[in-house]
Amino acid sequence: MKKRIGVLYTGGTIGMRQSLEGLIPDVALASKALLPFEQQFEFEWHICDPLIDSSAIQLSHWQEWVALIITKISQYDGILVLHGTDTMAYTANFLALAIQSLHKPIVLTGSQWPFDAVKSDATLNLAVAVAAFQKEWMGVAVAFNGKLYPAVGISKISTENATGFANAHFNAIGAWSEQQGWTDWNGDSLSQHDDASTTFAFKLKNTVKVAVYWLAPGCNADMIAKSLSDFESDAAVLMTYGHGNAPASGHLISSVKKYTATGKHILNISQVLQGSAADTYAQGSALRKAGVIVGGKANIETAVALMHLSASQQWPIAQITQVLRNHQLL
């Protein structure tokens, strides 16, 4: 019996066509992209209306897509999400953190060049994604350039070549080629081990505001401090140096204290691609004492997803920390 795969086509370069103003999303992809695999799988398409360039993504899109997945996943053996590469890593991290008790695979893929372009990477990426449904595993992953990556920790690392994505801390689940099939498979690393029988998702409020701050030498610390005080947000992500270190700016520390005293959370993460915020250096102790949460190995894509969920759910620090531990980030 053929496996049934639900296809959520959100837009992105993979299905774009040329227009007078540049590349734009197009529905024609649905009539051709998965034809080579229809002897092995039955595909049911859900085409978003409108299709979007992923740089235009809003929280309402995440709400819509998660609701659709939760409603439909019991009908399928897996879900394939076709997504633009600009924000695919953010969506992948969000799905992995939001969807709980997931007993089936969800695979995201896209391409650096349109499906119909000469030497497009779309054909390989689609083949890898579909091949992942031949294996027995559960969780959320990204298929790109011959590899399948865990969603948590995934980042876009290139706009210039087919590599596209990488996961600095957790590496690939497996590698696939038409000649060898799967090699170095480690799908068990994604499986969620819980007793819940029904898949559900944490609710996301599309009115939640998460501020993101990147620390840099100069007056940046004072600018961050002023923004924390003046800009209305529900949570924040602070990207600091190395192991989570920052200058001992009295203005910044004071603003962080006032912000966290209101019950709002700031997640401190490292700017380094393969970095980890920790309590290693005394230089970062002032921030920790001011109330920031140590984000461990969380990258910006994971952190943004986590803080949107935590602000929506009004999680205490202990629950945020537990989520980080559950995903091996602490």
Residue 195, pLDDT score: 60
CA–CA separation, 227 and 217 (whole Å):
17
> Mean of the pLDDT values across residues 1-12?
96
What is residue 47's DSSP assignment?
Answer: E
pTM of the model: 0.96
What's 210-326's CATH class?
alpha beta
**Cβ contacts of residue 180 below 8 Å, gap of 6+?**
none
pLDDT at 192 over 60: no
pLDDT at 306 over 90: yes
Closest CA to 222 of 198, 247, 201: 247
CATH 3.30.750.80 fits 3-201, yes or no: no
Residues in the chain: 330
Residue 237, SS3 per DSSP: strand
Residue 197, pLDDT score: 76
Pairing, β 147-150 against β 265-270 = unpaired
Could you list the beta-strand ranges (E) of the chain: 3-11, 17-19, 22-24, 41-52, 78-82, 99-100, 105-109, 139-144, 147-150, 154-156, 165-167, 174-177, 181-183, 200-201, 210-214, 235-240, 265-270, 293-294
> Mean of the pLDDT values across residues 103-125?
97
Share of the chain above pLDDT 90, in %: 89
Residue 48, pLDDT score: 97
Domain borders along the chain are: 3-201, 210-326
Residue 125, pLDDT score: 98
Torsion-angle region of 278 (φ positive above 0: left; ψ -120 to 50: alpha; else: beta):
beta
- pLDDT single digits (tens) 74-88: 999 999 999 999 999
Residue 183, pLDDT score: 96
pLDDT at 194 over 90: no
The number of beta carbons lying within 10 Å of the beta carbon of residue 71 is 9
The number of beta carbons lying within 10 Å of the beta carbon of residue 22 is 8
Share of the chain above pLDDT 70, in %: 98
Question: In the predicted model, what is the mean pLDDT of the chain?
Answer: 95
- pLDDT single digits (tens) 124-171: 999 999 999 999 999 999 999 999 999 999 999 999 999 999 999 998
- pLDDT single digits (tens) 243-271: 999 998 899 999 999 999 999 999 999 99
What is residue 190's DSSP assignment?
Answer: G
The residue whose two tokens read 């019950």 is 263
CA–CA separation, 112 and 93 (whole Å):
20
Could you list the beta-strand ranges (E) of 157-225: 165-167, 174-177, 181-183, 200-201, 210-214
